Amino acid sequence: MTKKILVTGGAGFIGSNFVHHILKNRDWEVVNLDLLTYAGNLANLKDVEGLPNYKFVQGDIADKEFVFDLFSREKFDGVINFAAETHVDRSIEDSSPFIQTNIVGTHVLLEATRKFEVPRYHQVSTDEVYGDLGDNSRDFFTEETPLAPNCPYAAAKTSADLLVKSWHETYGIFATISRCSNNYGPYQFPEKLIPFFLFRAMKNEDLTLYGDGKNIRDWLYVLDHCEAILNIFENSPAGEVWNIGGHNEKTNLEITNLILKHTNSKSQIKFIEDRKAHDRRYAIDASKISRELGWTPKHTFEEALPLTIEWYLNNKDWVESCRAKVGNS
């Protein structure tokens, strides 16, 4: 049966990949609500903008009047909330937009879901809500790991998760949450590690790594994340939390060396003072979603990283236009 879905933050990195994924694989109507902050880019969606079952609406998820008006006009069958402020460094510089969008915005969407009786709400969250596994453990985050965020971005995302849980428990809205590890792939704003270092490597500029570069992240190809979200949206019971990850742990230094190798760049690695509250290791146990929903990643890092690098090398204008928005440094 065809559905009408609200995707928020659909002009960003994962959201735009998700909009493409849905329009390719389902016969659904998609309304994309995005504020178009520096991270939102309609060029990511050029190829779908004329489709009759796709509509873009510019607006703020934290603007209650605007959101309620949208929900009263469109009868959504589901909401998938990607919209967020997402860059940890920015959250340390100025946490206000993170509180506003990630917490207040989620609250507004939950209230609209409740008032207009939308049958499904999905919150796209992050493994950063679990805090730090540290250098010396071989543990993994499970869905039962206590929430222990360390930076303002992670704290705001955790707060949103708690709102979602309580709106499900208190008001009975049908809500689910997914917590994914670091994503890589096309359309990621070039301030995040992989596209930022690619952008600098293309220009033979220094690659500055925080601390000793040995912080570990678990990397997942963005399309695998999109498939997992769609699977959860269609198949999860209400009130469930799902970890998503690929058992693909790499240090930031390893990622940097791979970028240098694939681009034949003359860039030098420079180690700089560590980021405040820089978690050492994140690693996801995704066995629940594999066991209960049959999701496993389809892309290996060895094949998808070169594809990703090739995409950025073939889309230098896109990269330059993004960097121009934030001053190109």
Binding site for ligand NAD (CB under 6 A): 8-9, 11-15, 34-37, 39-40, 60-62, 82-86, 101, 105, 124, 126, 157, 180, 182-183, 189
**In whole angstroms, how close is the CB of 324 to ligand NAD at the nearest point?**
16
Query: To which H or E segment does residue 7 belong?
Result: strand 4-8
Gap between the Cα atoms of 22 and 5, Å rounded: 10
Compare residues 209 and 222 and give the one whose CB is closer to ligand NAD.
Answer: 222
Query: How open is the CA angle 79-153-41, to the nearest 5 degrees?
Result: 55
**In whole angstroms, how close is the CB of 30 to ligand NAD at the nearest point?**
14
Catalytically annotated residue among 34, 85, 111, 127: 127
Q: Where are the beta strands (DSSP E) in 207-318?
A: 207-210, 216-221, 241-244, 249-251, 269-272
Among this protein's residues, is 128 annotated catalytic? Answer: yes
Compare residues 29 and 128 and give the one whose CB is closer to ligand NAD.
Answer: 128
Compare residues 37 and 256 and give the one whose CB is closer to ligand NAD.
Answer: 37
169 and 114 in contact (C-beta within 8 Å)? no
Compare residues 84 and 207 and give the one whose CB is closer to ligand NAD.
Answer: 84
Query: To which H or E segment does residue 57 belong?
Result: strand 54-58
Residues composing the chain = 329
**In whole angstroms, how close is the CB of 126 to ligand NAD at the nearest point?**
4
State phi, psi for 133 to the nearest 5 degrees.
-80, -15
Compare residues 265 and 304 and give the one whose CB is closer to ligand NAD.
Answer: 304
Among this protein's residues, is 161 annotated catalytic? Answer: no
How far does the chain reach from its first CA to its final CA, in angstroms?
48
Catalytically annotated residue among 153, 184, 221, 282: 153
Burial of 300 (0-12, 13-18, 19+ CB in 10 A): exposed
Among this protein's residues, is 153 annotated catalytic? Answer: yes
Catalytically annotated residue among 128, 191, 224, 279: 128
**In whole angstroms, how close is the CB of 75 to ligand NAD at the nearest point?**
20
Query: How open is the CA angle 198-203-209, to the nearest 5 degrees?
Result: 50
**In whole angstroms, how close is the CB of 327 to ligand NAD at the nearest point?**
17
Closest Cα partner for 24 from 43, 4, 48, 2?
A: 48
Closest residue by beta carbon to ligand NAD? 12
Could you list the active site residues? 127-128, 153
